Amino acid sequence: MNPLLNLHTYGQSFWYDNIRRTFLQDGTVQQLIDNDGLRGMTSNPSIFEKAIGNSDDYDAQLRQLAAEGADVMTAYEAMAIADIQAACDLFAPLYTLSDRTDGFVSLEVSPYLAHDTEGTAVEAKRLFTAVSRPNLMIKIPATVEGIPAITDVIAAGINVNVTLMFNMPHYNAVAEAYIEGMTRWIDADGDPAQVASVASFFVSRVDTAVDNALADNHLDLLGKAAIANSRVVYQQFKNIFHGERFAALQAAGARRQRLLWASTSVKNRAYSDTRYIDELIGEETVNTIPPATIDAFRDHGHAASTLETAVADSYTILSDLAEAGIDLTAVTEQLQADGVASFSKAFDTLLAVIKEQLEIVK
């Protein structure tokens, strides 16, 4: 049986870490839904940069926008919103069938606002209104400034995909932001079943950074940090959302904020190309998977309940890393900063490409 279909058997939804207009129109995404059990989609500035900059999918709309005298940012939003709306419509039946648990499509606020609390909240609300689809999730980074924006946006009844989380402090802050936002939403007589959130915890980049920092006498720890880090955070998810901290909100109808595994393509060819799916399968989780990794897992992946295997070993690995001189908190804080910078750079490139193409089609 297709191992992608089996993921849902073990409580995990898989989402498509990609977007491109042709794929929305030619049946590619619909086939993933029908044949592989795809249950959602995510986007980010890097994905849009590749889609718009490396295809002719958007030429017709670019010509129209150029004729209307649209500026670069207006053109970007028009193209992105059109794709996100089309994707939301494709997933709308699943959104309904899953009782608003899956079928979400994510759109990121501008990475330029990663350190602007008010700007992030304002843009999140504006984008949610502009897309006008109930199964839209707004992506907000888990920066220090992003955390209060997450609370504000959840409190406004808007679905949030929190991105760029790399460590336990990030996760704890995000979970608290969700709980506070949901409390405010319910206190304002909002429908708790209307709001969903996922906490996107990045995986492969942790191994890359830690492996590069390990000394030669600790080679036994290569490739172990990311999965151990993720498994320990999952235990904290259970502590928070299956414990007293969330009990009253759950009784009122609030949904748990699921963990989402992000950055699950393998960067080191020495590792199995499906390891960040194989090793992180468990209840109430999502894995957002890029196209090549989807193909690999369909071909030779193995679906099984793995997220809670060797939990004690995961704590030991994190302890061993500390003894080996790895300050995981410092490493992962840098990864978050690098992630913000990377998305900003991709956004710079995207806007430059759109500017050039607008001038060409005039």
Catalytic residues, by residue number, are 139
Q: Which helix (H) or strand (E) holds 259?
A: strand 258-262
For residues 210 and 317, the answer to whether their CB atoms sit within 8 Å is: no
Task: Please identify which residue in the block is written with the tokens 């977007």.
Answer: 19
Tell me the chain's radius of gyration from C-alpha atoms.
20
Q: Which residues contact 211 (CB under 8 A, 6 or more apart)?
A: 222, 223, 225, 268
Q: Which residues contact 75 (CB under 8 A, 6 or more apart)?
A: 62, 65, 66, 354, 358
Task: Please identify which residue in the block is written with the tokens 């924006």.
Answer: 149
* Measured CA angle at 205 (ends 204, 210), to 5 deg: 105
**C-alpha 140 chain-centroid distance:** 10
For residues 210 and 227, the answer to whether their CB atoms sit within 8 Å is: no
The CA distance from 151 to 148, in Å, is 5
| Cβ atoms < 10 Å from Cβ of 220 | 11
For residues 117 and 349, the answer to whether their CB atoms sit within 8 Å is: no
Helices (H) and strands (E) in the chain, counts: 16, 8
